[in-house]
């Protein structure tokens, strides 16, 4: 017997008016590692936590460039994010070819939101299993959007999706009023601060597991990985722990400056899969 006879496909409503398949898709996002996005008056930033399936494996890319003014960060099924970002690339090229202008961020987001919505309305299809934070800059300035497989596309001043993202949202909610006036550098550091709150107890942000991307008026979309994030992680160490002690380690934060002063590049790679399920393909 089925536990629930209203969750066999994405087009069946439950008696309470819910689409369970869509809700399950939203669960896939929570399996993925966290991404955090935030905007100032001049720039939009996303930072992401990368995961590797095993010690010997590489870290899965979390941020995808779409165009010089547009990019996405993903949490959930990476193949679905590839499909959506490839579609966005085509839209962006089409806009450049036909109208000789960059694709507006809102247009890009609504285009994929409409695709996602279609999948919840047609039999035989499935919702996308991925959530995206989309950053871009257009005529109206910098933007940050959250895309969900339900077809919802909302603009945010700060947002976080993925595993333990509630911690990052709490951080952003506390500080978002300062964001509009921040410089790019301060904005990235705030993003990393929020991202660090999503880490499990024994984890650290390292050059291997951290991705940073930003875009602004005269700043084309820039993706930083590996060696290029070292300087940013150094800034994080200098600023953050004092102003933002980890909630779980009050005493530790007070006296724990010795371990935190350690250069991020030399930190031992302790990152392991969040759970033992090696078939988990969410990122």
Partner 1 sequence: MEQSPINWGRPRDDVYGHYSEAISQAPNTHSLPKKHTQQPTVTGSSVIGIKFDKGVIVAADTLASYGSLARFDNIDRLTQVGDSTIVGIGGDISDMQYVQRLLEELEIEENYDNSGDQSLHSENIFNYLSKVYYNRRSKMDPLWNAVLVGGVDSKDEPFLSHVDLLGVTFSSPALATGFGAYLALPLLRQLVPYPDSYKNVTEADARAMVEKCMKVLFYRDARSIDKYDVATITKGNVKIEKDIKCKDQNWRFAEDIRGYGRTTS
Q: Is 160 left (phi over 0), alpha (psi -120 to 50) or beta?
A: beta
Which of residues 107 and 174 has its CB atom nearest to partner 1 in the complex? 107
Which of residues 78 and 153 has its CB atom nearest to partner 1 in the complex? 153
Taking the complex as a whole, the smallest distance from the CB of residue 158 to partner 1 amounts, in Å, to 19
Distance CA 9, CA 20 (A): 8
Give strand ranges (E) for 40-196: 43-49, 63-67, 70-76, 130-138, 141-147, 153-155, 158-161
Distance CA 283, CA 281 (A): 6
Distance CA 227, CA 216 (A): 22
- Tokens 């999706």 sit at which residue? 161
Taking the complex as a whole, the smallest distance from the CB of residue 140 to partner 1 amounts, in Å, to 4
Which of residues 97 and 279 has its CB atom nearest to partner 1 in the complex? 97
Which of residues 109 and 167 has its CB atom nearest to partner 1 in the complex? 109
Cα dihedral 176, 178, 182, 187, rounded to 10, equals -30
Taking the complex as a whole, the smallest distance from the CB of residue 10 to partner 1 amounts, in Å, to 24
DSSP 180: G
Taking the complex as a whole, the smallest distance from the CB of residue 102 to partner 1 amounts, in Å, to 9
Taking the complex as a whole, the smallest distance from the CB of residue 105 to partner 1 amounts, in Å, to 7
Contacting residues toward partner 1, per CB under 8 A: 97-101, 104-107, 110, 138-140, 143
Which of residues 1 and 98 has its CB atom nearest to partner 1 in the complex? 98
Taking the complex as a whole, the smallest distance from the CB of residue 100 to partner 1 amounts, in Å, to 4
Which of residues 3 and 100 has its CB atom nearest to partner 1 in the complex? 100
Distance CA 214, CA 224 (A): 9
Q: What does the block give as tokens for 157?
A: 């001043």
Q: What does the block give as tokens for 76?
A: 């959930």
Taking the complex as a whole, the smallest distance from the CB of residue 204 to partner 1 amounts, in Å, to 38
Distance CA 242, CA 234 (A): 14
Q: What does the block give as tokens for 115?
A: 């695709």
Which of residues 98 and 276 has its CB atom nearest to partner 1 in the complex? 98
The H-assigned helical ranges of 32-164 are 78-99, 105-118
Taking the complex as a whole, the smallest distance from the CB of residue 143 to partner 1 amounts, in Å, to 8
Which of residues 142 and 149 has its CB atom nearest to partner 1 in the complex? 142
- 48, 159 in Cβ contact below 8 A? no
Distance CA 172, CA 157 (A): 9
Distance CA 103, CA 223 (A): 19
- 217, 252 in Cβ contact below 8 A? no
């Amino acid at each position: 017997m089925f536990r629930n006879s209203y969750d066999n496909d994405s087009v069946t409503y439950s008696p309470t008016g819910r689409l369970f398949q869509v809700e399950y898709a939203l669960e896939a996002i929570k399996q993925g590692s966290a991404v955090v996005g935030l905007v100032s008056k001049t720039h939009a930033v996303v930072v992401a936590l990368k995961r590797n399936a095993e010690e010997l494996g590489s870290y899965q890319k979390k941020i995808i460039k779409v165009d010089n003014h547009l990019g996405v960060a993903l949490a959930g099924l990476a193949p679905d994010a590839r499909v959506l970002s490839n579609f966005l690339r085509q839209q962006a090229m089409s806009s450049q070819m036909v109208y000789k202008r960059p694709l507006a961020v809102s247009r890009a987001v609504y285009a994929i939101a409409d695709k996602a919505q279609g999948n919840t309305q047609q039999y035989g299809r499935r919702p996308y299993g991925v959530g995206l934070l989309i950053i871009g800059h257009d005529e109206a300035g910098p933007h940050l959007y959250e895309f969900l497989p339900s077809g919802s596309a909302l603009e945010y001043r700060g947002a976080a999706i993925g595993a333990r993202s509630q911690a990052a949202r709490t951080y952003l909610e506390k500080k978002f009023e300062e964001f509009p006036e921040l410089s790019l550098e301060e904005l990235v550091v705030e993003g990393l601060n929020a991202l660090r709150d999503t880490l499990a107890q024994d984890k650290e942000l390292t050059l291997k597991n951290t991705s940073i991307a930003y875009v602004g008026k005269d700043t084309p979309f820039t993706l930083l990985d590996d060696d290029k994030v070292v300087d940013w992680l150094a800034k994080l160490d200098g600023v953050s722990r004092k102003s933002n002690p980890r909630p779980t380690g009050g005493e530790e934060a007070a006296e724990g400056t010795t371990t935190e002063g350690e250069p991020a590049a030399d930190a031992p790679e302790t990152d392991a899969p969040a759970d033992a399920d090696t078939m988990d393909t969410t990122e």
